[in-house]
Structure 1
Amino acid sequence: MEGVDHLDHERRKAQFDVEAMKIVWAGSKHNLEVSDRMARLVASDPVFEKDNRQRIDRKELFNNTLRKAAHAWKRINELRLTEEEASKLRQFVDEPSYVDLHWGMFVPVIKAQGTDEQHKKWLTLAYKMQIIGCYAQTELGHGSNVQGLETTATFDPKSDEFVIHSPTLTSNKWWPGGLGKASTHAVVFARLITDGRDYGVHGFIVQLRSLEDHLPLPGITVGDIGTKFGNGAYNSMDNGVLRFDHVHIPRDQMLMGLSQVTKEGKYLKSDVPRQLAYGTMVYVRQAIVSDASLALSRATCIAVRYSAVRRQFGSHDGGPESQVLDYTTQQSRLFPLLASAYAFRFVGDWLNWLYMDVNRRLQANEFSTLPEVHACTAGLKSLTTSVTADGIEECRKLCGGHGYLCSSGLPELFAVYVPACTYEGDNIVLLLQVARFLVKTVSQLGSGKQPTGTTAYMGKVEHLTQCTCDVQKAADWLRPSTILEAFEARALRMAVTAAKNISMVSNPEEGFFCTLC
């Protein structure tokens, strides 16, 4: 009860409208109402209880996750929840499971790369969960280098089928969530070979397991890859391995929204530009950024509450010891993380706008913003996930020994979250892509071509490379224009320096590596 009193005292000291801030965080009053209603629904249902998941073995954990996923789907149907409500309910269940990849990757990819006929066939089944899908791209030998994937899809005009095959050990699909035990189907990315020519990586819908007895179909070897980092954490997900031995699928199970193969084996590009695939990438990465704000806000919430309740030292007259939250060393480590959680929340909104803007432009065959979009999504995915993973660990340290307990929620939160630094693009690889974009932008500054969008500030190269900070007192940093100019000057000067260093070597790749070192 004493801890509750401390928190109440801190809450009453807020110098802003807490209820208004809830709406700002949620995005709208409607969003707040939906979130609150779904949170209460999950919290009041004993099937979704999660207190014991750090103490049960992997098999029991996974079975428990299956029960929760099935129960969630039952409640969604019983209550006739909207897609928005169902998404929030799954979020509050707070347990990684096969449905994450079904709704988060399998369905969006078919929507983005399939034809109207494929949408009608496959999405109808997927929306009713009559089939369970996963996303099989990463292989044992290749992850970030998608163009290096080795799985093949060879067209056979005699049977009007593709033959999916894993020719090497390293071509085994490795890591797809939902693959190990649950999925009946997968969007498989493989090298399309027809008429003796390799046309690169394309997507194919492949059935993995029987809909009658759930056993793997002939030619398919599939299984779970084992226990991952942490206790409960991501071990509730059945990440899997998948090997194909000359598996035949109908020609129309190639995702043909962007390209197709005729009955005669001729490869045809669709009138729909391949750049439309960028829409899916932006959608996935904006979701990752939004997830970063959620994870970091949970960690900072735990650490702030702990810091308000925990008391150490500072008692000289027999009174209570000082709240840990009052120590500047605690504040200097904790408050920037709290601020970052808010920043990531709002940049997630901006990325959602960018997703809609990109789709609008792509539908109009307007591709000029794609390089910038790629750089922004790559950079923000890398930045937010790295800061969040490190921030969760910092929050654990800020809670002292208590933070090391699984009951604090922080060890499991870290173990669940840290894979985000690797999936959908390794963070260092993504930052190199951003660096290439910035160096190219710098190289064009003298050509008269003015940078636009998020790099428009680089057009002020003379001012930003020579200006000095005009801050005279601490309050001056409350001016947004002052902060913005400081960031612009720093970013431009770093980009210009990097470009100069890279230009000094004959091999650009070597230049990027040396700059990193």
Structure 2
Amino acid sequence: MVHGEYKYCVPDLQKERDNCPFDKEEVTNFIDGGKDKTNLRRKLEKYFLADPELQDKLSPDYLSHEDRYANELRKAVCVVRKLNEDENVQHLAGEMEGIRMLMGSGLGAAINKDGNPLAVHYAMFLPAIMGHGTLEQQGIWMSRAWAGEIIGTYAQTELGHGTFLRGLETTATYDENTEEFILHSPTISSYKWWPGGLAKTANYAVVMAQLYAKGKCHGPHPFMVQLRDEETHESLPGIKVGEIGPRLGLNTNDNGYLGFNHHRIPRFNMLMRFSQVLKDGTYVQPPNEKLAYGTMVFVRVAICFDTLRQLQRAVTIATRYSAVRRQSELVPGQGEPQIIEYQTQQFKILPQISSIFAMIFASRFIWETYNEVTGNIQQGNLDSLPELHAISCGLKALCTLDSSNGVDICRRACGGHGYLASSNLPRIWTGTTAGETYEGENTVYNESCTSSPIFLPRVLYITLVT
């Protein structure tokens, strides 16, 4: 394969393609979301994957941890520069669609193989400002963040608390005399833990902290916090930040920790779209306390799409391998059959293909629901918010579970070759299984759910497919 174009196809695989009984292009268009999006994806792939700046001179598997991070950051910056400066890219994709493709698990994973240091900046930091900031706050921070003048992350999970948001220990105490919030990490377990891009890349963060005003706690709220000097990149006084160490995968996502020692920020830096603290410390509560979790809902929906794409990649590799791998001469003199002809191999691979289509239907449904509910919120209608929380939480758990298991089945279906890093299956699996624990571990479900987090989405699967 040269720059996205096949120059040679092995006979066994070509034979399977020639004998395909359905219209492959029609199915491709469906998976992409339409013919126009298929054309867009192919143009973007051809444009970016042919760029020498985005190619690896040496396989990342042979680089040190530091060099791998530097290499992926270099490529991520190159992509952003092209999106901001190259008229050809802007004409092809437009801003949001281009970012979605280039920062997600499709084309983005082909460019940044073990995680994108800027992924959380686009997937969570920007949406958090858009979702929770006032128009004035958006005007100040969004343009700078979009242009890459500031790089942010989303700091919610702590060493001691993740899914149980009401248990977060980081505090933001309002000082009426100076009109400032004092951010503090009172215990080691209150240190922010896991945010992508935090360790080395980000100089800003949207931080979730327990809001205290006039001596009363009002629960977790989002705050815009500068972490590092914009010129020197040194951490600011009262801020302790660093890397949490190597992970199972996604080791260039730059995950970090963050602690505060009575660090002060202006009152304006509280994101006040839904709730406010007035100059005198008076707290103005939101119409619904769960509005503060809006970024998490958006990310859960994005995770559903992300993990199903990972399963798509794995099942494509396993299916192609099954077509070209031959094994065990069953009848002497007739040669070894393709392993795809074995029913046991079909039992492994075909259910994963079916799962992909089920997840596509369900993910598109929840994305449409998210947009509808978000639109209703703008009009002051919050009736559907609890249902959105429940279904998105359960569907995230289900998609990550099925995708992670499916990828591992595909890996084992490729025998010893699936264990090789060059198959890409180990990297796909470590990237997919991460979804089972970030944004909430899968056996813990959102408090708005009234039944099993798996039951409702499983019913959704069946309903949408049938």
The TM-score with structure 1 as length reference comes to: 0.82
Counterpart position of 1:72: 79
- Measured after TM superposition, the shift of residue 275 of structure 1 is 4.7
Percent identity, please.
40
Aligned pair partner of 2:12 in 1, 6, 28 = 6
Is 1:30 the equivalent of 2:36?
yes
| Separation of aligned partners in 1, 2:8 and 2:168 | 58
Conserved 8 A contact 2:124-2:154: yes
| Separation of aligned partners in 2, 1:454 and 1:56 | 41
* Residue correspondences, number: 446
Q: 1:138 to 1:276 in 2, by over 3 A?
A: closer
| Separation of aligned partners in 1, 2:182 and 2:463 | 55
Q: Which has the larger radius of gyration?
A: 1
Is 1:137 the equivalent of 2:189?
no
2:103 alignment partner AA: R
| Separation of aligned partners in 2, 1:141 and 1:279 | 22
Deviations 1:162-220 (A, max 9, x none): 00011111111111000000101000111111111111111100000001110001111
- Measured after TM superposition, the shift of residue 318 of structure 1 is 1.7
| Separation of aligned partners in 2, 1:188 and 1:279 | 14
Is 1:284 the equivalent of 2:299?
yes
Counterpart position of 1:90: 103
Deviations 1:120-174 (A, max 9, x none): 1111211111110100001111011111011110111111100001111111111
Conserved 8 A contact 2:222-2:292: no
Q: 1:379 to 1:215 in 2, by over 3 A?
A: same
Conserved 8 A contact 1:112-1:276: no
| Separation of aligned partners in 2, 1:18 and 1:242 | 48
Which SS does the other structure have where 1:427 is aligned?
coil
Q: Which structure 1 segments of 5+ residues have no match?
A: 442-452, 458-479, 489-517
Aligned pair partner of 2:363 in 348, 351, 360 = 348
Is 1:297 the equivalent of 2:303?
no
Counterpart position of 2:182: 163
Q: Which structure 2 segments of 5+ residues have no match?
A: 1-6
Which SS does the other structure have where 2:183 is aligned?
strand
| Separation of aligned partners in 1, 2:170 and 2:458 | 39
Which SS does the other structure have where 1:235 is aligned?
coil
| Separation of aligned partners in 1, 2:384 and 2:458 | 11
Aligned pair partner of 1:244 in 260, 274, 280 = 260
2:158 alignment partner AA: E
Conserved 8 A contact 2:318-2:414: yes
Conserved 8 A contact 1:42-1:89: no
Counterpart position of 2:119: 100
Deviations 1:344-370 (A, max 9, x none): 122221111111111122223333333
Task: Judge which range, 85-94 or 23-32, deviates more.
Answer: 85-94
| Separation of aligned partners in 1, 2:325 and 2:446 | 39
Task: Judge which range, 214-223 or 306-315, deviates more.
Answer: 306-315
Conserved 8 A contact 2:151-2:202: yes
1:88 alignment partner AA: M
Which SS does the other structure have where 2:237 is aligned?
coil
Conserved 8 A contact 1:378-1:430: yes
Counterpart position of 2:218: 199
| Separation of aligned partners in 1, 2:166 and 2:290 | 16
Task: Judge which range, 335-344 or 78-87, deviates more.
Answer: 78-87
Which SS does the other structure have where 1:351 is aligned?
helix
| Separation of aligned partners in 1, 2:226 and 2:133 | 16
Q: 1:285 to 1:238 in 2, by over 3 A?
A: same
Counterpart position of 1:467: none
- Measured after TM superposition, the shift of residue 285 of structure 1 is 1.6
Q: 1:432 to 1:248 in 2, by over 3 A?
A: closer
Counterpart position of 1:372: 387
Counterpart position of 2:377: 362
Is 1:16 the equivalent of 2:29?
no
| Separation of aligned partners in 2, 1:253 and 1:331 | 56
2:432 alignment partner AA: Y
Conserved 8 A contact 2:198-2:243: yes
- Measured after TM superposition, the shift of residue 242 of structure 1 is 0.7
| Separation of aligned partners in 2, 1:456 and 1:68 | 41
Aligned pair partner of 2:347 in 329, 332, 351 = 332
Which structure features the higher share of helix residues?
A: 1
RMSD (Å) for aligned C-alpha atoms: 2.5
| Separation of aligned partners in 2, 1:184 and 1:371 | 34
Which structure has more relative contact order (CA 8 Å, sep 6+)? It is 2
Q: 1:484 to 1:64 in 2, by over 3 A?
A: closer
Conserved 8 A contact 2:288-2:382: no
1:99 alignment partner AA: L
Conserved 8 A contact 2:389-2:446: no
Counterpart position of 1:505: none
Counterpart position of 1:40: 46
Superposition map of 1:106-121 within 5 A: 106-121=125-140
- Measured after TM superposition, the shift of residue 98 of structure 1 is 2.5
| Separation of aligned partners in 2, 1:266 and 1:2 | 70
The TM-score with structure 2 as length reference comes to: 0.90
Q: 1:245 to 1:279 in 2, by over 3 A?
A: closer
| Separation of aligned partners in 1, 2:182 and 2:391 | 38
